[in-house]
Amino acid sequence: MSDTGVAARKSAVFLLDEILGEGKLMSELLGAGVLDRLPPDDRARAQRLAQDTLRGLERADRILQKHLNKYPPLTVRNALRIGTVELCTGGAAHGVVNAMVSVVSGDRHLSHLKGLTNAVLRKVAAEGPEAWTARRAPRLPKWLRGPLVEAWGADAMAAMETVHFNGAPLDLTAKGDPAELAERLGGTLLPTGSVRLYDGGQVSAMEGFAEGDWWVQDAAAALPAKILNAQPCEVVVDLCAAPGGKTMQLAATGAEVRAVDDSHSRMQRVKENLTRTGLTARTFIKDARQFQGEFDAILLDAPCSATGTIRRHPDLPHAKDGSDFGALMELQEEMLDHAWSMLKPGGRMVFCTCSLLPDEGEVQIDEALERHGDMTVDRDALNIAGIDPAWISSEGGLRLRPDFWAEQGGMDGFYIVCLRKSG
């Protein structure tokens, strides 16, 4: 890592320019290799700075507002935002201000604004961290906050925003005994059987990763496969399987598993994960709506708004505006109907989305129940360790929100339901 941290900060500014200015997602940018030329430490630092700034964006903007008569160009504004977050969360004033001035002066179109950058960040540094902690947890942008307040209420929304702001711990699913894994790694065994670490570090360097003893999977994301409860004699299909967290859980039961995803590159990750963990599933690169077969059990983790994952993806509410969500909801409906046609009579299907929007969960199932006379909700499937009955919604699905287990770090927002086909 460079001593001054200028390279990492310059890249963090670039990430924010792309996310806030161009509507790109962090995952798209990293997938396209925009940080690949940096050494690993700088890469991690750039990503962390951008994520911290996105989490605290509203606070940073409020603090900066006082010191700006008019907004400078986006790149300078983003440099100021990152500098503000660093200064207010323990960054050493001298180093942060100098590095940010270097970032701005290094751009010949913006170098005339280095004096402004210096002056504003010095004022922010003089105000100190109190200016930061006195403010409320940043709110979601209005386009998303509105529907979520309508669905869950203002108090729940504020609780979710606090959890979003705090970020997420690292959850693992054990291939073997989770209690043994928790003890080995010094983690906490959660009531549903996931292992939670509060200071994980670099995943691939952690004990047991290379040996395939565990995989990273949010505690909420681990529940759909548990609810499906696949048995060794069954043939099970995992639709929309990549990167394979649920495929590995299903394979670990001894069931015969087919994993389907339409993305070549993401399916490559499923294969790598299966190889690392020594688990077996047949993989198919195919549109889930065209896959054929007859199955005892189906898991459909449909593509969705991913609004349940904001703790770990703070870029999402800033990069998106909800305009593509309608198309996703239509896709979910098509997938659900096609998957249902592949289910054996008497079989069961778990439908889930990592979404906080009822239109991608409760409403989707209410409508599916009207379309399919042979479909019922299997409430008994939710009788598993650690599930709080208060999380069960009126139609019999499981509504999980980031503010559940808030003191322990929360969980991803998810909707999960088990559907039975009459025999």
Ligand X SMILES: C[S@@+](CC[C@H](N)C(=O)[O-])C[C@H]1O[C@@H](n2cnc3c(N)ncnc32)[C@H](O)[C@@H]1O
Smallest distance, ligand X to C-beta of residue 55, A:
22
- 129: preceding bond cis by omega (within 30 degrees): no
Q: What does the chain come to in residues? A: 423
Site for ligand X in 278-337 (CB under 6 A): 287-289, 301, 303
245 is in an annotated binding site: yes
In the complex with ligand X, the residue whose CB is nearer, 80 or 230, is: 230
Active site residue 354: yes
Taking CB under 6 A as the rule, which mask of x and - marks residues 208-247 in contact with ligand X?
Answer: --------------------------------xxxxxxx-
Q: How many residues bind ligand X (CB under 6 A)?
A: 18
Smallest distance, ligand X to C-beta of residue 100, A:
37
Residue recorded with tokens 């991608």: 360
Between CA 83 and CA 374 the distance in angstroms is 58
Taking CB under 6 A as the rule, which mask of x and - marks residues 55-84 in contact with ligand X?
Answer: ------------------------------
246 is in an annotated binding site: yes
From 88, 352, 354, 418, the catalytic residue: 354
320 is in an annotated binding site: no
Q: Applying CB under 6 A, does 261 fall inside the site for ligand X?
A: yes
Smallest distance, ligand X to C-beta of residue 349, A:
14
In the complex with ligand X, the residue whose CB is nearer, 261 or 360, is: 261
Stretch that binds ligand X, among 83-91, 131-139, 259-267, 382-390 (CB under 6 A): 259-267
In the complex with ligand X, the residue whose CB is nearer, 290 or 422, is: 290
Q: Applying CB under 6 A, does 52 fall inside the site for ligand X?
A: no
241 is in an annotated binding site: yes
Smallest distance, ligand X to C-beta of residue 39, A:
29
Q: Applying CB under 6 A, does 266 fall inside the site for ligand X?
A: yes
- Of 338, 312, 289, the C-alpha closest to 169 is 312
How far from the centroid of its chain's Cα atoms is residue 365's Cα?
23
Task: Please state the residue numbers annotated as binding site for S-adenosyl-L-methionine.
Answer: 240-246, 261, 301
- Where do contacts with ligand X occur on this chain (CB under 6 A)? 240-246, 260-263, 266, 287-289, 301, 303, 354
Catalytic residues: 354
